[in-house]
Chain A
């Protein structure tokens, strides 16, 4: 390679580099740095607002379940492609077997988009859903309201017990 040729290549490379760099800089601007979204951790109301059994919070796409002083939450967002699952309640409790565990359920979750079906505790048993419906941690805020954190998932045995 001669010096003249080297400099010619260098010049071409510099032009290309500058153009690609500018293009990338412009494209980078459409990746948001700040999003103005509702917080992932939010209050859902006082424990006594919830009746025994399951409640659907349509605003948060979340199910809250109460058994006496015990509370837990299951997401209503299908793990397949994000539709809101429908709550299907049974007039009589039904016995089902999930893996080796057997339990009675009073409701199931059915997704209208692609037919995924989940048992009452969130495990999928039909359709394309690849994972169980996620559980989110529940806690009590200083003002006495229940507070949910949807930014992290917890295991399905998570239960929040209210101290009375």
Chain B
């Protein structure tokens, strides 16, 4: 054990610090400290303030990367064989079922936790600089919006790969949303599908996007995201220390409100990672990832429902076709491009139009941000309502039914 710690020391330190000053200066000489900050504010580590949702999201991303790399050895992106390699994972490969379940559960949880992370940051006003001239938190929020979109795109491209009925109809709908864009729609569809029909070209495109393009983009952005948090002086709640000190006319001494990242921060981060991993493993043992019938263009499952995180979008697609006597606009464009586009743009600029006072930085539900919080809360509630409605109240042929009153579904005709 002692030998091991000595060995670790040799790998990560070039000298042993003898004082706090020396230790702080050591940042540049230590691998972990080069990544984490040297000192971290106490409130940045508060469980009840941040719930560590960002760390959970990144932990899930790590789990996805590792399981994903192993899955790449076992999966073949061909329309003839893709489905059967997934079947093999479930029945022939040792622990294949576990690997696939972990990848799927981590993916679903990542969508969920990235969204929760966004909600937390909004309600705590954490995209505000709080009068800190060196901070640039609004930009980091905007980066976060892109991270959310990449997370959703990764999930979308991921559930297409098994090439089952869910996959085929999800690609068909996605590609046709692109097609519904005025003027350039057909070209976008051609580019996305790699031809005029959903086939091998489409599968290999989505595969390349899923295994390298999107993860690489996400990794670059998330690295910037974390670096930004560190350079902005920790989580936004840290600004409260400075405001407090200013109000009381005191001088802030680092020891009063910060501690060393090693061990305080890395221990907690590791704990959060272990809990995330444990949760994913537990879910993977008790619940299997579903696999529908092999892809068949001649019939669409009835009803054909998207995964839960896209159901609000599916509901929007179904109800937003605009009809006038002169022209008709496809709901695919209104509900699939315009409305999500407006939501995304609003998300990008919202920290720049939020004019609440500095005191509202890093505080849950600050009274001065009542309007902002209500606006955001209502948008999220509408999306949640659409999701629940589409999940439980839409039956065969997308008609409205009570969840317990579905009629028998005719299979083909």
Contacts and interface: CB of A to CB of B under 8 A. Distances in A.
A58 B196 contact: no
16 contacts: A31-B191, A32-B194, A58-B299, A79-B330, A81-B176, A81-B177, A81-B180, A83-B300, A86-B302, A86-B397, A112-B398, A113-B169, A113-B398, A115-B397, A127-B318, A130-B329
Interface string B292-323: 00000111111110000000001001111101
A131 B317 contact: no
Interface residues of B, number: 46
A64 interface: no
Interface in A59-113: 59, 61, 79-84, 86-89, 110-113
Given A37-B197, A89-B413, A112 B396 contact: yes
A127 B394 CA distance: 13
B18 interface: no
A50 B321 CA distance: 36
A114 B176 CA distance: 13
Contacts of B300: 83-84, 86, 111-113
A80 B300 CA distance: 14
B242 to A, nearest CB: 43
Interface residues of A, number: 31
B273 to A, nearest CB: 37
Contacts of A117: 397
A56 interface: yes
B228 to A, nearest CB: 27
Main secondary structure on A side of the interface with B: loop
B196 A114 contact: no
A127 B298 contact: no
B410 A83 contact: no
Contacts of B160: none
B216 to A, nearest CB: 16
A127 B169 CA distance: 18
A128 interface: yes
Nearest to B303: A112
Nearest to B180: A81
Main secondary structure on B side of the interface with A: mixed
B173 A113 contact: yes
Given A81-B173, A128-B317, A32 B298 contact: no
A129 interface: yes
Contacts of A115: 318, 394, 397-399
B198 to A, nearest CB: 9
A117 B398 CA distance: 10
Contacts of B314: 113-114
Contact of A82 (B172, B194, B329): B172
Nearest to B315: A114
B304 A83 contact: yes
A35 interface: yes
A136 to B, nearest CB: 15
Contact of B319 (A82, A87, A128): A128
Nearest to A31: B191
Contacts of B304: 83, 112-113
A81 B172 contact: yes
Nearest to A27: B191
A128 B330 contact: yes
Interface string B176-202: 110110000000001100111101010
Given A111-B398, A128-B330, 17 more contacts: A32-B201, A35-B195, A80-B331, A82-B176, A82-B179, A83-B169, A83-B300, A84-B300, A86-B299, A86-B302, A87-B413, A112-B300, A112-B303, A113-B173, A113-B398, A114-B317, A128-B318
Interface in B308-353: 314, 317-321, 323, 328-332, 336
A128 B399 contact: no
